[in-house]
Structure 1
């Protein structure tokens, strides 16, 4: 019996290891309290690929990626159903395409790592953390999920993001996995590490301890510092509107001139809000319905509190027609005092790659994607909305996933910046996606050391302190208005984190360092080394 089972087990062992890695990576995205899994998740994959071919590295990496994204993003099926009113079968087929394409990230990461082993003749576990940082930070995917963004509950581990951005968190996660994998492989007698192995292990351990030690110090420092900051009373409106691929009619009892958000806003203004924020929603008609701007102006002037809201903005006609995804700022008199046009557009939803080079693609996308697709024009200006001495820095929806973009917007702001993100996650239904998005935005607050308000159509809407602590959170799937006292940097105390000033420095320098060391290891070989597999 053992003779027959052995070949089967030999095939199942690597498959089980790859699947385990993917599931361990996915679970902390869905449930933030499971964050320790990420720091060990790659170990099963690193063990089962040891000594195997480049093809095995690719396919096992692909299997790990598929299991990761199947568990972390099952909402893709419901997203496509809501987007196009698809039945289950075509929605599932579209989701499979997404999962297969996204799973190329760990597949190519493992393939590049295997190529590096052939290049040097060593196992190169020291290089693995650099590859984790580079691939999870730079590989093109539709909905980016960086590993560090699953760590929003591990506050000590994310404090160093003010120096390195989320890239440093990803690197440390890679270091932890490489250290544990090295111990396991050595215990199994399968390590090819040379005499430098113990020294590299010690260096990795010191780096990890230094990172976490900085986190303990920084968390305490920022908690104590923020406790003395002034606060802004932010009125947050969560309308919980149902998503619609077409322009929805006003709800019964409301109108374009008087949406549900306006009714909640007046209640918040009466109870002390100093600024009111609505989330991203499908349509308000501010630029298309003639009477809406005047009605909004009168309503906001009557409440006497500035308003930030979202709408589709149309400008020009004919060949000069442009449409933007915009965040609008009405001052206390109801006048349009500022607008922010979204920079980072969502591919296949708000823009089509290569559409400028091949205009016929726009017509094809409109036929296939329907009303959801809009070939929007990206904005370019970085603006702030001033309220008293505070400068609100706007971002729209998945722009909050782009650390460098958010950092540059904060850096361009005058003193006392406060991040404001407007999102509509209703497209993803009753899934874990809204919590994943909320976790990702926590990193943006820590990276720039500013408070952040994330207004989400269906919740949970959150307010986050510069330390990453959640100041307030709304329930999911409820219509609610809430006033939150949000701390901001006092006037005259202009502070810019290292990452805010130089967003890409760490990723670029760590990548270059890894490449240089790889070449030096290759050049230091006096004799051809035995290929590790």
Structure 2
């Protein structure tokens, strides 16, 4: 038996698919590795070339499993904290999550195989559109769009103010298609397609050059603009509480009426904060413990600085009972001046799909997910919290992963908007997840050309400029307060980006254009 025959033919494609997944995952964990994303699909596309539909699916599945195993190993610890599971059941639940999420690249590759059957060697130029559509719209529990791994590549994300993160995904797809086309041609696997590949490849290079050229210009433009803006002195409170499935008791030395966050807030107020922002935490008791509202009012009035914080909100009784995940705004006199009820609830943690149609599912979820699960009611109103001439636009935790939702909230602000995200990433332990979340929110600042304050329970809390630059950050897993100046749009120069005004236009138009082009090519080939 020769060495060549001893080497199974399936080894190389399998290794290529796994390599693609690892290359996709690493930039989510370490933002400085962003160049890998622009080449990551090449091993997969080359390995799948000329193979069956089943092979495309299984190779895509392997890529997805590798990607999410490397990018989201924190899922095991998340489930352990969720209900105090031992390692075995938490690992089993994580494996279900990884398998279901890996369907995204699996079905992406299956659809790309169908494109190949429809349009032959033109198919590579449909891959970027498919990539954009799948990573933008495929239903997953914790979305990870490709462009959100590019927060350190500032020129590449500037045009997101026109297209949203969808445009960044498209450019990543074009880059991968160009390199794949070159590789396949070099191997002689695209016979008769040299002219087409040359024309399309030249167009792809021009699009990428225009995208990045605009990015360099826009980065400089917005940096200069922001340097002239007024600033709001924001106090960020990072409480670094350890989350638990059950409602935690107050820490020794503190109480519901005087939590650790209030002690830190006193320091921030003395340091000159004009508004104080607490992160999302497990429980504050503002709506359930009688003495808490009064105690908070007195404390905040003593500080003379408005406060934004998070709590579970209960309304009504019996069949009218509703529970919301809310951000609350206390004015400088300590009185409740506004509330925002979370719109986009986390499936299986805050709401259960189809629970209203099948109420028995709620009891099942409560048994399985424990006290963490709450069948919350989504909010409807888009509100802002005014501080001086600034309108703070609140979002809670993973709402920041939905570009359209954030854009509509910013667009509804009546004056100078400033995004504020409150999140509790302590559920994910000592993992890379907090950095992944922080990187994703960078895109929200650029898309809407507004500054962003992201306050995490366990850090790193960040302040991001409209150009995507991180202006300030806090250490990870440390209880700390930070006062920092946050630039905001002057009242007479309020700007609404193209994406803020029309959030889904790019993805919808490009998706429909790709479908029409596919049908046109198919019709032309049949007539020929």
Deviation at 1:194, TM superposition (A): 5.9
In structure 1, the residue matched to 2:49 is: 50
In structure 2, the residue matched to 1:242 is: 242
Whole-angstrom distance in 2 between the partners of 1:19 and 1:475: 33
In structure 2, the residue matched to 1:531 is: none
Deviation at 1:84, TM superposition (A): 1.1
Q: Deviations over 1:485-529 (max 9, x none)?
A: 00000011121000000000000000011001101111111567x
Specify whether residues 57 and 7 from structure 1 end up closer, same or farther in structure 2 by C-alpha distance, changes over 3 A only: farther
Whole-angstrom distance in 1 between the partners of 2:119 and 2:24: 29
In structure 1, the residue matched to 2:355 is: 355
Contact 2:122–2:196, Cα closer than 8 Å, also in 1: no
Report the 3-state secondary structure (helix = DSSP H, G, I; strand = E; otherwise coil) of the residue aligned with 2:121. Answer: coil
- The 5 A counterparts of 1:17-56 are 17-56=16-55
Contact 2:121–2:190, Cα closer than 8 Å, also in 1: no
- The 5 A counterparts of 1:348-387 are 348-387=348-387
Deviation at 1:5, TM superposition (A): 3.7
Whole-angstrom distance in 2 between the partners of 1:66 and 1:6: 29
Deviation at 1:123, TM superposition (A): 5.2
In structure 2, the residue matched to 1:468 is: 468
Q: Which stretches in structure 1 are left out of the alignment for 5+ residues?
A: 529-533
1:439 matched to 2:443: no
Contact 2:156–2:211, Cα closer than 8 Å, also in 1: yes
Report the 3-state secondary structure (helix = DSSP H, G, I; strand = E; otherwise coil) of the residue aligned with 1:252. Answer: coil
Contact 1:415–1:492, Cα closer than 8 Å, also in 2: no
Deviation at 1:415, TM superposition (A): 1.7
In structure 1, the residue matched to 2:396 is: 396
Whole-angstrom distance in 1 between the partners of 2:423 and 2:244: 15
Whole-angstrom distance in 2 between the partners of 1:79 and 1:154: 29
Contact 1:79–1:427, Cα closer than 8 Å, also in 2: yes
In structure 1, the residue matched to 2:102 is: 103
- The 5 A counterparts of 1:80-99 are 80-99=79-98
Deviation at 1:7, TM superposition (A): 6.0
Contact 2:116–2:122, Cα closer than 8 Å, also in 1: yes
In structure 2, the residue matched to 1:511 is: 511
1:8 matched to 2:7: yes
1:420 matched to 2:420: yes
In structure 2, the residue matched to 1:128 is: 127
RMSD: 1.0
Q: Which stretches in structure 2 are left out of the alignment for 5+ residues?
A: none
Count residues with an aligned counterpart.
527
Whole-angstrom distance in 2 between the partners of 1:28 and 1:191: 31
Deviation at 1:9, TM superposition (A): 3.8
Contact 1:415–1:493, Cα closer than 8 Å, also in 2: no
In structure 2, the residue matched to 1:143 is: 142
Whole-angstrom distance in 2 between the partners of 1:191 and 1:269: 66
Q: Runs of 4+ in structure 1 displaced over 6 angstroms?
A: none
1:524 matched to 2:524: yes
Contact 1:129–1:172, Cα closer than 8 Å, also in 2: yes
Report the 3-state secondary structure (helix = DSSP H, G, I; strand = E; otherwise coil) of the residue aligned with 1:349. Answer: coil
TM-score (norm 2): 0.99
Whole-angstrom distance in 1 between the partners of 2:309 and 2:85: 30
Whole-angstrom distance in 2 between the partners of 1:185 and 1:5: 22
TM-score (norm 1): 0.98
Report the 3-state secondary structure (helix = DSSP H, G, I; strand = E; otherwise coil) of the residue aligned with 2:455. Answer: strand
Contact 2:178–2:204, Cα closer than 8 Å, also in 1: yes
Contact 2:311–2:326, Cα closer than 8 Å, also in 1: yes
In structure 1, the residue matched to 2:174 is: 175
In structure 2, the residue matched to 1:268 is: 268
